[in-house]
Amino acid sequence: MNFNKRFFSFVLVLFISISFISALSSKPFALNIALGSSAIVYGDEQIKEYKSVLFAENTSRFILNTEVSTHLFLDDYISLNIGSILGFDWFKNTNANLFLLKYDIFAGIRIYPFLNGFNFGIDYICGGLSNFLKVYSTSDENIKSATVVSDWSNGFRLLAEYIFVVESSKYSPAIGCYWQNMPRNNGYDNSFSVYAKLAIR
């Protein structure tokens, strides 16, 4: 896809630029590792059908998000960020198992508005979604076990975060939340997430 080529070129140029700035700056990269969970509203009609037919009752659900990123402060109030997100969403009951795997890469900025460790930001995201469905029993003969991989698409997310800066340590914990919007096939996925993060300088 031409879009994906442009996006990867953008990320590559951004990474090279950050590396160059970092070489001239006294402020090195920081590594960020985050773990969280989400409330997800899927826009894909097929996933909606799975949920209404197979998982309407007596269903357990487990959602986990992991994120690894790096950032560089351009000054005291702005940083550039690039990274990746891996998300897991698992539905299970006596009728079926549905496992959804989300994989995204992103690039964005963070703004620190004179409020200690508080910051907010926006990310440009490119990613995909894979669905793994295993059906044990259903009254709908049109629904069968299947694996579906969506096309890669581009979206965005808005986030707010607070970093608890520990001056004497290279480790800084943080908490945050974000809203992510991604087009998927014939609809849009909306994720509302909270997370805990560790920044390593």
pTM: 0.82
Residue 154 parent element (H or E)? strand 153-163
- Residue with the larger pLDDT of the pair 53 and 179: 179
* pLDDT at residue 24, rounded to an integer: 46
Instruction: Tell me the C-alpha distance between 80 and 109, whole Å.
Output: 5
pLDDT in tens, 129-180: 999 999 987 777 778 888 988 888 999 999 999 988 766 678 889 999 999 9
Instruction: Tell me the C-alpha distance between 195 and 181, whole Å.
Output: 17
Token pair of 195, please?
Answer: 């997370």
Amino acid 181 reads N
* pLDDT at residue 200, rounded to an integer: 85
Helix and strand element counts for the chain (H, E): 2, 9
- What CATH architecture does domain 2-200 belong to? Beta Barrel (2.40)
Q: Where are the domains of the chain?
A: 2-200
Token pair of 30, please?
Answer: 């920081």
Quick check: 57 and 91 in contact, CB under 8 A? no
